[in-house]
């Protein structure tokens, strides 16, 4: 069937193309077969000749605008998913599973693939202590719907990220130190596996698959259609923005890394070294549940003489929206790339110096950042093998991002294409430099939601000692590798 599709691509390539031997090119699927698929679904099938296809085939990151899936299926139910998988199997068309479309490597799409998109399954139903959420709901919509009931979930900060893509690979954010990661708050999931079976997974039913989905579930085991997530009461919360002159970046990073991971659970913080056309900058954001007195007190422990120093308390949803970094509309979507590493110890003065120099020396034409996101609290209190998210002993997650403006709409003019290629090469070079500078100081683990096709041993970095059990479950639930991409289990 779809066996060995992109897993044959050499590691280090991120192209999500589908050129498998043993897989029929999707162009050979007869037109009437596509029509029969459409008629058998409640959802919709969009093919390259359809007016809605260009928008439907796009991911969040413009870097992947050239991908040409064979079709995008907007499924409306688990039965639609099962029918789509049956079609893919019968016609030898490789599949890709998509929710919010934020995959850093474009693995929720691909040339010639049948993209199974769950975005129309976006309901949010509130129950005592939990919420039943359609797998295609976006975080911003989930937070807004839950806020009407005075509750929220532990999730990420970007409002357009899909709740399932986030949760199945971990999910850190403002509340993860207080209540655990998104995957720690997953109570049940409905998943359609490669055999077309709709499986309810929880602690009692399909416990092995339920274990795998919490950290290892992004695209490898089936299509998740619904999640039941634990909710938490929230009323007001507080946020702070701090900045210093760049000349004090080393002092600030040194102080922050010894401070943020040991804050009380109800507090969270991230630090950012950033460089764009305006030059380099160092800033810290912080969050606390409730009023801001205790947070203000703790912020005094960071270096003084700040150029920005604000703190406020607001209704929780307003605080969440303040942290929502991505407001890019379809017209100004960026191109970006990312790498990551977890850190179990504070960085030495030498490593801090290397990070600062690498940010400072970033080439012109790209924006770069090194973010450090506080872990600890409830994240680290889970035993490493209770879920497939094994990164439970770290002080912070380092995330390195390079972004650039790709110019006009695709197909690009020759000049835009040249500028885009030059920026992409500069981004690649800078990410390599910051990764090399900091990787030796990291634990060797990386965040599986920050997918990085260049990782030399991604199984170890993402899944550590959970790898063996995950691979065994992959063989059990997806023996023909229906769900396959370069870093599929
Ligand atoms: C701007 C931005 C901000 C981010 N902020 C945060 C943050 O604050 N915290 C954090 O933890 N992470 C964050 N991330 C990382 C994010 O969690 C991952 O990129 C996540 O995988 C995106 O999920 P998605 O559904 O939007 O993407 P998609 O591209 O749709 O999916 C990502 C992966 O999950 C698989 N998948 C998606 N839906 C399903 C499903 N229903 N069933 C099975 N597999 C599925 C896809 O096949 C793909 O491999 C951010 C990413 C971006 C780009």
Q: For 211-225, what is each residue's pLDDT tens digit?
A: 999 999 999 999 999
The closest-lying atom of ligand 1 relative to the alpha carbon of residue 157 is 8
Return the closest-CA partner of residue 214 out of 183, 171, 191.
183
> What DSSP designation does 412 have?
P
Banded model confidence at residue 26, pLDDT cuts 50, 70, 90? low
Q: What is the mean pLDDT of residues 63-70?
A: 95
**Tell me, what's the pLDDT at 417?**
81
Query: Taking the domains of the chain in order of start, what are their residue ranges?
Result: 6-118, 124-233, 236-441
Q: Are 342 and 446 in contact (CB under 8 A)?
A: yes
Q: Are 426 and 366 in contact (CB under 8 A)?
A: yes
Residues near ligand 1 with C-beta < 6 Å? 60, 97-104, 107-108, 118, 135, 156-158, 161-162, 164-166, 168-173, 218-219, 223-224, 326, 449
**pLDDT tens-digit map of 99-134:** 999 999 999 999 999 999 999 999 999 999 999 999
The neighbouring-strand residues paired with 415 are: none
Q: In angstroms, what CA-CA distances link 201 with 328, 396, 397?
A: 35, 31, 29
The CA distance from 383 to 145, in Å, is 32
**Tell me, what's the pLDDT at 17?**
43
Domain 236-441 sits in CATH 1.10.10.10: no
**Tell me, what's the pLDDT at 53?**
98
The closest-lying atom of ligand 1 relative to the alpha carbon of residue 106 is 29
**pLDDT tens-digit map of 365-381:** 999 999 999 999 999 99
Q: What is the mean pLDDT of residues 11-36?
A: 59
Banded model confidence at residue 413, pLDDT cuts 50, 70, 90? confident
pLDDT over 70 at 4, yes or no:
no
CATH class given for the domain over 6-118: alpha beta
Q: What is the mean pLDDT of residues 234-246?
A: 98
The CA distance from 365 to 425, in Å, is 11
- Cα dihedral 415/418/420/426 (nearest 10): -140
CB count within 10 Å of CB 379 equals 26
Banded model confidence at residue 397, pLDDT cuts 50, 70, 90? very high
CATH topology of domain 124-233: 3.30.465
Q: In angstroms, what CA-CA distances link 314 with 93, 291, 355?
A: 50, 8, 34
Strands 71-74 and 114-117: parallel
pLDDT over 70 at 410, yes or no:
no
**Tell me, what's the pLDDT at 411?**
61
The CA distance from 163 to 173, in Å, is 12
pLDDT over 90 at 80, yes or no:
yes
**Do 6-118 and 124-233 show the same overall fold?**
no
The CA distance from 159 to 157, in Å, is 6
The neighbouring-strand residues paired with 127 are: 130
pTM of the complete model:
0.93
* Range scoring the smallest mean pLDDT among 21-25, 153-157, 235-239, 389-393: 21-25
Q: What is the mean pLDDT of residues 145-167?
A: 97
Banded model confidence at residue 420, pLDDT cuts 50, 70, 90? confident
Hey, whose CA ends up nearest to atom 52 of ligand 1? 102
Strands 267-276 and 367-374: antiparallel
Average pLDDT of every residue of the chain: 92
> What DSSP designation does 219 have?
S
Q: What is the mean pLDDT of residues 224-248?
A: 98
Return the closest-CA partner of residue 211 out of 383, 393, 386, 378.
386
* Range scoring the smallest mean pLDDT among 66-75, 251-260, 323-332, 416-425: 323-332
């Amino acid at each position: 069937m779809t066996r060995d599709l992109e897993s044959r691509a050499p590691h280090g390539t991120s192209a999500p193309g589908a050129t498998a031997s043993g897989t029929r090119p999707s162009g050979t699927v007869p037109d009437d077969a596509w029509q029969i698929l459409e008629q058998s679904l409640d959802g919709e099938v969009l093919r390259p000749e359809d007016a809605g296809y260009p928008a439907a085939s796009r991911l969040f990151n413009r870097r992947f605008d050239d991908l040409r899936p064979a079709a995008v299926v907007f499924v409306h139910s688990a039965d639609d998913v099962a029918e789509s998988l049956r079609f893919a199997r019968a016609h030898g068309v490789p599949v890709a599973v998509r929710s919010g479309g934020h995959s850093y490597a474009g693995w929720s799409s691909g040339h010639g693939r049948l993209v199974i998109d769950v975005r129309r399954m976006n309901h949010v139903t509130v129950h005592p202590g939990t919420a039943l959420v359609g797998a295609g709901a976006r975080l911003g919509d989930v937070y807004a719907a839950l806020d009407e009931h005075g509750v929220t979930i532990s999730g990420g900060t970007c409002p357009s990220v899909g709740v399932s893509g986030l949760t199945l690979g971990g999910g850190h954010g403002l509340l993860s130190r207080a209540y655990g990661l998104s995957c720690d708050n997953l109570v049940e999931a409905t998943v359609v596996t490669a055999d077309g079976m709709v499986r309810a997974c929880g602690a009692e039913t399909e416990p092995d698959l339920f274990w795998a989905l919490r950290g290892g579930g992004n695209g490898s085991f089936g299509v998740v259609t619904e999640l039941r997530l634990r909710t938490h009461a929230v009323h007001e919360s507080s946020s702070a923005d701090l900045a210093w002159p760049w000349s004090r970046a080393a002092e600030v990073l040194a102080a922050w890394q010894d401070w943020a991971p040991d804050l009380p659970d109800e507090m969270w913080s991230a630090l950012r070294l950033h460089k764009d056309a305006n030059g380099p900058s160092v800033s810290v954001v912080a969050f606390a549940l409730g009023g801001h007195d205790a947070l203000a007190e703790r912020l005094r422990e960071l270096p003084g003489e700040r150029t920005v120093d604000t703190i406020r308390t607001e209704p929780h949803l307003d605080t969440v929206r303040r942290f929502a970094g991505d407001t890019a509309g379809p017209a100004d979507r960026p191109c970006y790339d990312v790498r990551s590493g977890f850190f179990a110890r504070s960085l030495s003065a030498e490593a801090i110096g290397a990070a600062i120099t690498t940010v400072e020396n970033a080439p012109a034409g790209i924006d770069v950042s090194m973010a450090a996101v506080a872990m600890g609290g409830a994240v680290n209190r889970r035993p490493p093998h209770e879920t497939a998210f094994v990164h439970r002993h770290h002080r912070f997650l380092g995330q390195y991002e390079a972004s650039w403006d790709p110019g006009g709409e695709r197909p690009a003019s020759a000049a835009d294409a040249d500028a885009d290629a030059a920026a992409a090469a500069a981004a690649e070079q800078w990410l390599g430099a910051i990764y090399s500078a900091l990787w030796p100081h990291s634990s060797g683990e990386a965040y599986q939601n920050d997918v990085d096709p260049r990782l030399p041993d991604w199984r170890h970095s993402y899944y550590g000692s959970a790898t063996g059990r995950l691979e065994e479950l992959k063989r059990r639930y997806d023996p023909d590798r229906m769900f396959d991409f370069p870093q599929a289990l």
